[in-house]
Structure 1
Amino acid sequence: MTKVIAILFLFFIVCTGVAQDSVSIYNPDSDAGKDIELAVAKAKESNKHVLLQIGGNWCPWCIKLHKFYNDNPIIDSILKADYILVMVNYSRENKNEELLKNLGYPQRFGFPVLVVLDENGNRIHTQDSALLEKGTLYDLEKLKRFLLNWNRAAVSPGSYMDKK
């Protein structure tokens, strides 16, 4: 009986610790369409693109990616310079199905999935985030290359015209 009580006690301690460590980066109650609309207006004003990170608080890789942005000064500075970041929830509470339909069903790549919108709100790229991984983490160089290859300057025809 003592063993059973000890095991139950340890189980509750572990569960309590996990619950305290849970991170909420996605808001299931948020109006993602409105959030994107505001981000597009801000992107247009500031000559940036919009980066949607679609996923949920249930997704460990979604949390890892968001943490990677914040913990890595190189990625953080590229994001701040070139993108307006919007966290789009996908969960049992709110799947944002109509929005994802309009984005070409990016959930087909799994989660998290990244979608780049231009300053007018047009989808210009959908990125399978698994291609940005290395082992059990995200790869700095892959993520950096992705962000730099889809920023506004990189997709502007003027960046490739001969300057005479």
Structure 2
Amino acid sequence: MKTFKTISLTGIILMICFSLSAQKIYNPQADAKSDIETAIVKAKKEGKHILIQVGGNWCPWCIKMHRYLYSDNAINELLEQNYVFLELNYSKENKNLEVLKSLDYPQRFGFPVMVVLNAEGERLHTQNTGNLEKDKAYDFDKVKSFLYNWRPDALNPEYYK
């Protein structure tokens, strides 16, 4: 009976691990243009900027960035308070070339790449995420600095008088 419980528990753990690893972050069928338009409406309403992470499910660093943004409390809080966040797919199924053209070709920096838009949908900054790395991970101070320096308050002229 003890062996049966151990085997059952191991099987359940393996199924959970498999389902989590099979989880897709990017949706190749998503309408990126519509998603950005929806984000603009939300950003205007909430007084936030829009942060777009361009990448794909094929990209290990894209998955790492997604997990990093949600796993570190300080980073996630900065993200949630200042940005409407969306992930824009780039894959062989859907490269979203027209949308990327409208964002001034951020894919030139590789993947993932971050694009910051203001609440009007105007591109403010494109961030090469390679500059946010340290060794084989993302660097807390670099990611925090990026998010902090492109938040709406950072670009408010009233703070610089």
**Same fold (TM > 0.5):** yes
The answer to whether the Cα contact below 8 Å between 1:23 and 1:57 also exists between their aligned partners in 2 is no
- How big is each residue's C-alpha offset from its partner over 1:3-41, in whole Å with a ceiling of 9 and x where there is no partner? xxxxxxxxxxxxxx8797233110000001100100011
CA distance in 2, matches of 1:117, 1:85: 10
Separation (CA, whole Å) in 1 of partners of 2:138 and 2:23: 18
Could you say which residue in structure 1 is the equivalent of 2:147? Answer: 147
- Could you tell me whether the CA contact under 8 Å between 1:54 and 1:87 is conserved in 2? yes
Report SS of the residue matched to 1:51: strand
Instruction: Report the Cα distance in structure 2 between the residues aligned to 1:59 and 1:99, rounded to whole angstroms.
Output: 19
Structure 2 stretches lacking a partner, 5+ long: 1-16
SS of the residue corresponding to residue 54 of structure 1 reads strand
TM-score, reference length from structure 1:
0.85
Q: Taking structure 2 as the reference length, what is the TM-score of the superposition? A: 0.87
Shift of 1:158: 1.1
- Which residue matches 2:81? 81
Distance, in Å, in 2 between the alignment partners of 1:126 and 1:18 is 34
CA contact (8 A) 1:56 1:91 kept: yes
CA distance in 1, matches of 2:159, 2:109: 30
Structure 1 residue runs of 4 or more that deviate by more than 4 Å after TM superposition = 17-20
Query: Which residue matches 2:58?
Result: 58
Q: Distance in 1 between matches of 2:121 and 2:100?
A: 14
Q: Equivalent residue for 2:3?
A: none
RMSD of Structure 2 on Structure 1 (CA): 1.3
Alignment of 1:23 with 2:23, yes or no, is yes
Unaligned runs of 5+ residues in structure 1 are 1-16
Give, in whole Å, the separation in 2 of the partners of 1:92 and 1:111.
14
Partner of 2:98: 98
Q: Identity across aligned pairs (percent)?
A: 50
Match of 1:92, SS state, is coil
Give the Cα separation in 2 of the matches to 1:101 and 1:21.
31
2:70 paired residue number = 70
Matched position secondary structure for 1:52: strand
The Cα offsets for residues 135-157 of structure 1, whole Å up to 9 and x where unpaired, read as: 00000110000000000000111
